[in-house]
């Protein structure tokens, strides 16, 4: 899991100083913001879309929007949730008028790297990772978002509620539902993969 | 194994680390990273300049607007003289 999105007091002080610099549009402030968070935003968008070309466009739109609206930050804003919110909104806007999306996900071409293990176990692990990846992309956008933010990025429910525009309680419910959906999708695919009457134990 | 059991087994194994490993992230392309940074920085700094020199930006359109209003008023007066 990525390093959790938590901040100690010193880090929070640094963040608030950067917020002030961004609000004042100080020279160099934007470069600091970009250096700190570009990789996380890229990872979020690439995982959310599953496509490099789409993620690249959204990445650019996200940072351009951030550069335009930086002076509208609140004094006590949290920067990463703010950036995730912009990225998520860009993704939702891009998909708003897309009824059917038949473009191929590219993440499947990126082989997960299992830990060192026996050949048989490694094959099993690769198959399971591929199944998990396909199951993930069968989920609705809302479920993928909450899984990426909370499960992979380690965001707190409070921060995720800011990004998703929900109450904390609703975030927890959505996360629970997303996990159940992922489980169902996994099980469905496992059944297809396994020979009739012999569902493989995992 | 029943379907219910297989589903429960599948659920047990999907932890954060496994999900993360199933969704590997290629590093961001260096040219994209630099291109986006340049464009966003330029946008950020342009707005900084605009806030300082706003009156200069407004000078030309403002002058044109005032001239247009006077021109329209003159034209209207002529029309009133002819038809009024």
Same domain as A123, residue A79: no
**How far is C-alpha A22 from the chain's CA centre?**
24
Q: Is residue B60 part of a domain?
A: yes
E strands, A41-197, in order: none
CATH (domain of A133)? 1.10.10.10
Residue-range definition of the domain harbouring residue B72: 54-84
Residues of B in contact with A112 (CB under 8 A): 21-22, 24
Residue of B6, B10, B40 lying closest to A66 (CB–CB): B40
Mean pLDDT computed over A98-112: 58
pLDDT at A180 over 70: yes
Q: Is residue A140 part of a domain?
A: yes
Contact A147 B19 (CB under 8 A): yes
pLDDT tens-digit profile of B41-82? 999 987 655 555 556 667 888 899 999 999 999 999 999 988
Q: Give the number of other CB atoms < 10 A from CB of residue A27.
A: 12
- Chain A stretch 95-154, residues whose beta carbon is closer than 8 A to a beta carbon of chain B: 107, 110-114, 128-130, 132-133, 136, 147, 151-152, 154
Our CA-based measurement puts residue A100 at a distance from the nearest CA of chain B, in whole angstroms, of 23
Q: Is residue A88 part of a domain?
A: yes
Question: Which residues lie closer than 8 Å to A79 by C-beta, 6 or more apart?
Answer: A15, A18, A19, A33, A36, A37
Q: Is residue B39 part of a domain?
A: no
Q: Is residue A100 part of a domain?
A: no
pLDDT at A189: 86
Q: Is residue A131 within 8 Å of residue A202, measured between CB atoms?
A: no
Residue-range definition of the domain harbouring residue A65: 1-95
Q: Is residue A86 within 8 Å of residue A80, measured between CB atoms?
A: no
Q: Is residue B19 part of a domain?
A: no
Q: Is residue A32 part of a domain?
A: yes
Give, in order, the Cα–Cα distances in Å from A29 to each of A21, A68, B41, B49.
6, 13, 9, 15
> Which residue did the predictor score with more confidence, A80 or B13?
A80
Q: Is residue B29 part of a domain?
A: no
Q: Is residue A132 within 8 Å of residue B18, measured between CB atoms?
A: yes
Q: Is residue A103 part of a domain?
A: no
pLDDT at A162 over 80: yes
Same domain as A130, residue A76: no
Same domain as A188, residue A129: yes
ipTM for the predicted complex comes to 0.77
Q: Is residue A40 part of a domain?
A: yes
Q: Is residue B32 part of a domain?
A: no
Which value, to the nearest 10 degrees, does the dihedral of the CA atoms of residues A67, A72, A77, A82 take? -50
Helices (H), A27-102: 29-49, 52-69, 79-95
Q: Which residues of A145-168 are buried (b: 16+ CB within 10 A; e: fewer)?
A: bbbbbbbbbebbbebbbbbbebee
Structural domains in chain B (count): 1
Residue A170 touches chain B, beta carbons under 8 Å: no
Same domain as A85, residue A3: yes
Alpha carbons B38 and B33: distance in angstroms, whole number: 9
Residue of A2, A68, A133 lying closest to B22 (CB–CB): A133
Residues of B in contact with A1 (CB under 8 A): 16-17, 20
Q: Is residue A67 within 8 Å of residue B43, measured between CB atoms?
A: yes
Supply A46's token pair.
């690439």
CATH (domain of A89)? 1.10.1740.10
Residue A6 banded pLDDT, cuts 50, 70, 90: low
Same domain as A201, residue A120: yes
Q: Is residue A107 part of a domain?
A: no
Q: Is residue B72 part of a domain?
A: yes
Structural domains in chain A (count): 2
Q: Is residue B79 part of a domain?
A: yes
Alpha carbons A59 and A24: distance in angstroms, whole number: 24
pTM: 0.74
Q: Is residue B9 part of a domain?
A: no
Mean pLDDT computed over B10-32: 83
pLDDT at A79: 95
Last residue of a domain, which of A95, A127, A158?
Answer: A95
């Amino acid at each position: 899991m990525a390093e959790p999105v938590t901040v100690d007091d010193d880090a929070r002080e640094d963040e608030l100083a950067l917020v002030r610099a961004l609000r004042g549009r100080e020279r160099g402030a934007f470069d600091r913001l970009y250096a700190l968070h570009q990789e996380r935003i890229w990872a979020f968008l690439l995982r959310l879309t599953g496509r490099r070309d789409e993620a690249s466009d959204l990445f650019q739109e996200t940072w351009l929007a951030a550069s335009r609206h930086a002076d509208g930050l609140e004094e006590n804003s949290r920067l990463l949730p703010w950036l995730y919110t912009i990225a998520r909104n860009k993704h939702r806007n891009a998909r708003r008028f897309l009824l059917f999306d038949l473009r191929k996900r590219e993440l499947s071409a990126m082989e997960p790297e299992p830990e060192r293990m026996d050949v048989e176990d490694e094959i099993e692990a690769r198959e399971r990772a591929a199944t998990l990846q396909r199951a993930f992309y069968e989920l609705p956008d809302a479920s993928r978002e909450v899984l990426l933010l909370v499960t992979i990025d380690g965001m707190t429910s409070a921060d995720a509620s800011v990004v998703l525009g929900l109450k904390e309680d609703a975030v927890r419910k959505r996360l629970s539902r997303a996990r159940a959906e992922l489980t169902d999708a996994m099980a469905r695919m496992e059944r297809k993969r396994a020979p009739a009457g012999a569902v493989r134990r995992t | 194994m029943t379907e219910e059991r297989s589903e429960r087994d599948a659920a047990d194994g999907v932890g954060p680390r496994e999900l993360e490993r199933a969704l590997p992230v290629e590093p961001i392309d260096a040219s994209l990273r630099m291109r986006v940074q340049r464009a966003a920085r330029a946008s950020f700094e342009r707005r900084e300049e605009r806030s300082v020199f706003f009156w200069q930006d407004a000078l030309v359109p403002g002058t044109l607007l005032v001239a247009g209003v006077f021109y329209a008023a003159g034209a209207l007066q002529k029309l009133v003289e002819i038809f009024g």
